[in-house]
Amino acid sequence: MGPHLHRKKGVPLFNKEMNKIYIRKKNAYCLQVRALYELKFHQLIGFVITRKQQ
């Protein structure tokens, strides 16, 4: 287990609202944390998502 590549750098991203194409500058990774280890993960590393910080 570990972070998995979710979105690759350099791939175009189309914004439908603005009708514009952007190029991704960084890779995006997906990380799954089991509910059993969620508190420990929050204490050691922390969350960026505000709803997960509660």
Per-residue pLDDT reduced to its tens digit, 9-25: 999 999 999 999 999 99
What does the domain layout of the chain look like in residue ranges? 4-53
Other beta carbons within 10 Å of 41: 14
Band of pLDDT at residue 32, cut at 50, 70 and 90: confident
pTM of the model: 0.55
Mean pLDDT, range 21-35, rounded to an integer: 89
6, 10, 14, 42 from 37: Cα distances, Å: 22, 33, 36, 9
- pLDDT of residue 27 exceeding 90, the answer is yes
